[in-house]
Amino acid sequence: MARVYNFSAGPSVLPEAVLQQAAAEMMDYQGSGQSVMEMSHRSKVYDAIIKECEALLRQVMNIPEEYDVLFLQGGASSQFAMVPMNLMTGSGKADFVITGQWATKAQKEAARYGQANIVASSKDKTFSYIPKLDKSSFTPDADYFHICVNNTIYGTLFHELPDTGEVPLVGDISSCILSEPLDVSKFGLLYAGAQKNMAPAGLTVVIVKKSLVGKAMDITPTMFNYQTHTENGSMFNTPPCWCIYIAKLVLEWIRNQMGGLEEMGRYNREKAKILYDYLDESALFKGTVVKEDRSLMNVPFVTGDEEKDAAFVAAAAKAGFVNLKGHRSVGGMRASIYNAMPMEGVKALVDFMKAFEMENK
Ligand SMILES: *Cc1c(COP(=O)(O)O)cnc(C)c1O
């Protein structure tokens, strides 16, 4: 069996130990005689899985008691509407920092339901940096303040969170959830599509302060109201059962194999440093993001020559480094190095890049 090094931005690589355990339990989950895919979500055996998954997420992320954890569907993209429908009901205003396509989509969707102010943007330089924020531009009575914490396409990360005072901070953490410790208490709400760093596609995790739930707009569809799901333990309807099970295995892997989020973060920083250090010294490849805002998870880079970029992507794929083609809006390459990408994978990629550079001087 030959496994490639998969640098896909999402859906993306999962830990091999998790895939193996899922395979081993595929036909008969713990003596139940069924696959987790086949069992009733109301069964005792499944109830233990979803409860354990929530308990693990709370433990690993250190989520305070006053937050609800929801396992939903619809992707992070549904949250672009769900957040305003549930939260934009006081002043009807919210603030947005535009750091890429996902933040833009969140702002555009919110503008359908209220006043979605843009307080800063890095569009002028293809989102290659996190804009400096001026607190005097914030809306004091906003219902929330939205940021995309890690920008998957452009490879930037908010290394420091904005201080929004009393205004609840809302964070899209689709591509950085579980990558390093995060102070949940600084946020009113966090959401993530799980397919980047946590589970297969189909699961959306929402972590919401309980005090923010229960104020949805009247027009809010039942399924889009957080209260529907907080009151039913994410079991109002059929949850994405299989994805939640895999998320549980991933969380066990992070806690038991990787040593928790402090250690995971250390590992990810070391991994990213190997790649960034090489990009900084290479005469052929260079990173596209300003140094202080670099993501630990998504690393875009270019040669400056589209033909060379294409040749590199093709040669890399042949050598077993796949999904390195950059997003069409940035061009070049992007290596997504999520939790499950091992250190050896990044070292092997850098070795391959060095050899490619030697041959293409
Ligand atoms: C992938 C991604 C999304 C979209 O997620 P879906 O689950 O496909 O809707 C939104 N925000 C960020 C930061 C992402 O990386």
The domain spans of the chain are: 17-257, 259-359
Q: What is the pLDDT of residues 71-82, one digit of tens each?
A: 999 999 999 999
Q: What is the pLDDT of residues 182-227, one digit of tens each?
A: 999 999 999 999 999 999 999 999 999 999 999 999 999 999 999 9
The DSSP string of 139-191 is -TT-SEEEEESEETTTTEE-SS----TTSPEEEE-TTTTTSS---GGG-SEEE
- Provide the mean pLDDT of the chain: 97
Ligand 1 pocket, mutate which of 174, 196, 198 (most atoms under 8 A from CB): 174
Q: Using the atom order of ligand 1, give the atom closest to the CA of residue 79.
A: 9
Q: With a cut of 80, say whether residue 249 has pLDDT above it.
A: yes
Q: With a cut of 70, say whether residue 255 has pLDDT above it.
A: yes
CA-nearest residue for atom 14, ligand 1, is 174
Cα of 333 vs centre of ligand 1, distance in Å, is 19
Q: What is the pLDDT of residues 121-146, one digit of tens each?
A: 999 999 999 999 999 999 999 999 99
Whether residue 10 has its Cβ less than 6 Å from ligand 1: yes
Q: What is the pLDDT of residues 145-173, one digit of tens each?
A: 999 999 999 999 999 999 999 999 999 99
Q: With a cut of 70, say whether residue 1 has pLDDT above it.
A: no
Q: Using the atom order of ligand 1, give the atom closest to the CA of residue 150.
A: 13
d(CA 252, CA 84): 33
Q: Catalytic site residues? A: 102, 172, 196
> What is 259-359's CATH number?
3.90.1150.10
Whether residue 325 has its Cβ less than 6 Å from ligand 1: no
Q: Using the atom order of ligand 1, give the atom closest to the CA of residue 173.
A: 13
Tokens of 106: 């969140």
Cα of 173 vs centre of ligand 1, distance in Å, is 9
Q: What is the pTM of this model?
A: 0.98
> Tokens 């991994």 — which residue?
271
3-state percent helix, strand, coil for the chain, nearest multiple of 5: 40, 15, 45
Q: What is the pLDDT of residues 76-121, one digit of tens each?
A: 999 999 999 999 999 999 999 999 999 999 999 999 999 999 999 9
Query: Which of the four CATH numbers 3.40.190.10, 2.102.10.10, 3.40.640.10, 3.40.50.1820 does domain 17-257 have?
Result: 3.40.640.10
Whether residue 77 has its Cβ less than 6 Å from ligand 1: yes
d(CA 339, CA 336): 10
Whether residue 177 has its Cβ less than 6 Å from ligand 1: no
Collect all residues with Cβ–Cβ distance below 8 Å to 342 and sequence separation of at least 6. Answer: none
Cα of 355 vs centre of ligand 1, distance in Å, is 34
Q: pLDDT value at position 361?
A: 78
Whether residue 152 has its Cβ less than 6 Å from ligand 1: yes
Q: pLDDT value at position 269?
A: 98
CA-nearest residue for atom 10, ligand 1, is 76
Whether residue 202 has its Cβ less than 6 Å from ligand 1: no
Whether residue 127 contacts residue 136, with contact meaning beta carbons closer than 8 Å, is answered with no
Q: What value does the mean pLDDT take over residues 305-333? A: 96
Percent of the chain beyond pLDDT 90?
Answer: 98
Q: What value does the mean pLDDT take over residues 5-25? A: 98
Burial label for 134, CB within 10 Å (0-12, 13-18, 19+), is exposed
Cα of 28 vs centre of ligand 1, distance in Å, is 33
Whether residue 148 has its Cβ less than 6 Å from ligand 1: yes
